[in-house]
């Protein structure tokens, strides 16, 4: 069976629904994927995770990449390239491959989310509205980054569906209000030019 030996993956906790969330460590990952792995899950204290990045306990992508929140695309690209070169599994020191790979994956996710203006905007709003604050640093460091990435991605996707439902209820109510208004639009106390003309027309 091939779903075994994800050395890195062991460290991540599980969610309420029994989903085990991991990233794929083998090849340099290109996207976030949810994967199932049988066997026991090892809860980690998360202090053992990638020392390099976790030393600074970053709580958001900007800190991860080392750029200010107002950073430009160019700065982001440069920061990403620098970090990617540093943490790529192929150039990592032996023995710390897993940690480096973890770090690499997170840098990758950070860059992908922040480089697309749309998901970056979503992410910024997430931060502004305190989504990050929902997680206590020491215990949910990994999880928070991971979930924020997934949330952001899912949000951008789900936005399509949910947003439109919100919109629909909104414009439905706007339409009924307009209908109501248009009923008494031409009453005698409306003195606008067009109302006067319409009244004259209706009378003649």
Residue 161 exposed, middle or buried by CB count within 10 Å (0-12, 13-18, 19+)? exposed
Q: To the nearest whole angstrom, how small is the minimum distance from the Cβ of residue 42 to another protein?
A: 17
> What would the two tokens of residue 160 be?
């399509």
Which residues ranging from 106 to 165 are in contact with another protein (CB under 8 A)? 112, 115-119, 121, 125-126, 128-131, 133-136, 140, 147, 151, 153-165
Q: To the nearest whole angstrom, how small is the minimum distance from the Cβ of residue 22 to another protein?
A: 10
Nearest 5°: CA angle at 134, between 131 and 140?
110
Q: Which is nearer to another protein, 51 or 138 (CB)?
A: 138
Collapsing DSSP to helix, strand or coil, 71 comes out as coil
Give strand pairing partners of 170: none
Spatial separation of the C-alpha atoms in residues 96 and 91, rounded to whole Å? 10
Q: To the nearest whole angstrom, how small is the minimum distance from the Cβ of residue 110 to another protein?
A: 14
Ramachandran bin of 46, using left for φ above 0, alpha for ψ from -120 to 50, beta for the remaining angles: left
Q: Which of 51, 103, 59 is nearest to 80 (CA)?
A: 103
Collapsing DSSP to helix, strand or coil, 83 comes out as helix
Which residues ranging from 175 to 204 are in contact with another protein (CB under 8 A)? 175, 178-179, 181-182, 185-186, 190, 192-195, 197-198, 201
Question: Phi and psi (nearest 5°) for 156?
Answer: -60, -35
Which residues ranging from 41 to 70 are in contact with another protein (CB under 8 A)? none
Which residues ranging from 81 to 110 are in contact with another protein (CB under 8 A)? none
Q: To the nearest whole angstrom, how small is the minimum distance from the Cβ of residue 101 to another protein?
A: 17
Number of residues forming the site for another protein (CB under 8 A) = 74
What is the number of other CB atoms lying within 10 angstroms of the CB of residue 49? 20
Select from 51, 72, 81, 82 the one that contacts another protein (CB under 8 A).
Answer: 72
Binding track over 11-40 against another protein, x by CB under 8 A: ----xxxxx-----------xxxxxxxx--
Q: To the nearest whole angstrom, how small is the minimum distance from the Cβ of residue 26 to another protein?
A: 11
Q: Which is nearer to another protein, 56 or 169 (CB)?
A: 169
Interface region with another protein, contact rule CB under 8 A, candidates 41-49, 71-79, 89-97, 98-106: 71-79
Spatial separation of the C-alpha atoms in residues 204 and 201, rounded to whole Å? 5
Q: To the nearest whole angstrom, how small is the minimum distance from the Cβ of residue 175 to another protein?
A: 5
């Amino acid at each position: 069976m091939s779903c075994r030996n994800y050395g890195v993956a062991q460290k991540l906790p599980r969610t309420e629904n029994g989903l085990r969330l991991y990233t794929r460590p083998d090849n340099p990952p290109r996207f976030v994927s949810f994967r199932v792995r049988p066997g026991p899950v090892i809860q980690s204290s998360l202090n053992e995770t990638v020392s390099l990045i976790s030393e600074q306990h970053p709580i958001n992508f900007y800190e991860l990449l080392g750029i200010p929140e107002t950073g430009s695309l160019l700065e982001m690209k440069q920061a990403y390239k620098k970090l990617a070169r540093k943490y790529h599994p192929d150039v990592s020191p032996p023995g710390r491959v897993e940690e480096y790979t973890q770090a690499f994956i997170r840098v990758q996710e950070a860059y992908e989310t922040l480089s697309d203006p749309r998901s970056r905007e979503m992410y910024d709003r997430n931060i502004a509205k305190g989504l990050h604050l929902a997680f206590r640093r020491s215990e949910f460091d990994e999880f928070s980054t991971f979930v924020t990435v997934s949330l952001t991605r899912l949000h951008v996707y789900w936005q399509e569906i949910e947003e439109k439902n919100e919109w629909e209820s909104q414009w439905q109510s706007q339409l009924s209000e307009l209908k109501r208004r248009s009923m008494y639009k031409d009453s005698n106390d409306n003195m606008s030019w067009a109302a006067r003309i319409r009244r004259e027309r209706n009378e003649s």
